[in-house]
Every structure is written in C-alpha cells, then in structure tokens.
Amino acid sequence: MGRVLSREALLTAIRADRAAGRTIAFANGCFDLLHVGHLHLLQRARALGDVLVVAINDDASVKRLKGRGRPLIPEAQRAEMLAALRFVDYVTLFSEPTPLRLIQAVRPDVLVKGGDYTLDQIVGRDIVERYGGRVEVVPLLPGLSTSNLVEAIGRRRTS
C-alpha cells in the first residue's frame, strides 16, 4: 500500500494503527510550495503521535482559498512530495472547504496546526477535545510562508 490514500483506505489503515496501540496525529493544509516551515510543522506534528496523517486541500479547494494562480503545484505532486517525507505516514486529499468531516472520520488523538492559527480558529478543535484528544499549535518559523515566497519570486521577476 502506498502512503497517498483515499479516505476509505486511510480509515482502514488508521483502524489497524489504533488496534496496534498507536496514537494518531493529524495536520492539514494546502502545502502548495513545500518549504522549511512546512517541514518544521510536520516534524513537530509527527513527534506528537506515533502516526502522522497529512490532509491536503485538493486543487479546487486551494484555488478557492488562495485565489487565481494557485495552486502552484498540482495536488498529485503535492501529495507525493509529502508522502516522500520519512516523518509522514499517510497523505490524503480533501475537497471540502474545511477538513472537518475528515477530522470527524479519523478522530485523531492530536490535531496539529501552525502558529498562524489561534486555538479558537482551529477547525475541529471542539470535536477533538470533546472525545478526549488534544490540539497543539506549533510556532511558525519567522517569515516562512508560501505566500511570502510567491511574493518574493514575483518581486525578483519584475526587478
């Protein structure tokens, strides 16, 4: 089995991991242009559980969130790059505006988001805390975001 999974295959894999006593950490995002800030977040997320699930927005969802010209990298390529990371166990895509339904299905032990979110902004927080899971916010590395990188590339092209 590969590490880029459909929702159904992911849920089957997670059931087996839980049966083996493993804790599940869950992170999500666009991951449109993979950079060191993403690596920092995902390494920290993996350290919070035995298994790390990374859910990525599909292309249509990224376009709705980020606007024209995004995503820069198609969903299949983004998924494969993330799956190649040794600290990522499973990658899945979602098309909904938020990962709420996926979080409800996976029921992670730890829900992880980057420090650009406050606890009250994290989708699924209430659900995860209600069943006894926890939510962790990982501090961002200063100045590292895909949007900042895209802007910097644009400035270099025009100068």
CATH number of the domain enclosing 36 = 3.40.50.620
Least confident of 8-12, 133-137, 140-144: 140-144
Asked, for residue 118, whether it belongs to a domain, the answer is yes
- pLDDT 10s digits, 92-123: 999 998 999 999 999 999 999 998 889 999 99
Helix (H) or strand (E) holding 149: helix 146-158
Helix (H) or strand (E) holding 114: strand 110-114
Asked, for residue 62, whether it belongs to a domain, the answer is yes
The total number of structural domains that make up the chain: 1
Helix (H) or strand (E) holding 48: none
Confidence class for position 2, pLDDT limits 50, 70, 90: confident
Asked, for residue 106, whether it belongs to a domain, the answer is yes
Asked, for residue 143, whether it belongs to a domain, the answer is yes
Asked, for residue 137, whether it belongs to a domain, the answer is yes
Asked, for residue 2, whether it belongs to a domain, the answer is no
pTM confidence score: 0.89
Which pLDDT belongs to residue 84?
96
* pLDDT score of 144 more than 60: no
Asked, for residue 22, whether it belongs to a domain, the answer is yes
Q: What is the span of the domain harbouring residue 128?
A: 7-158
State the chain's mean pLDDT as an integer.
Answer: 91
Which pLDDT belongs to residue 33?
85
DSSP character for 120?
G
Which pLDDT belongs to residue 69?
84
With vertex at residue 113, the alpha carbon angle to CA 108 and CA 117, rounded to the nearest 5 degrees, is 135
* pLDDT score of 87 more than 90: yes
* pLDDT score of 56 more than 60: yes
Asked, for residue 38, whether it belongs to a domain, the answer is yes
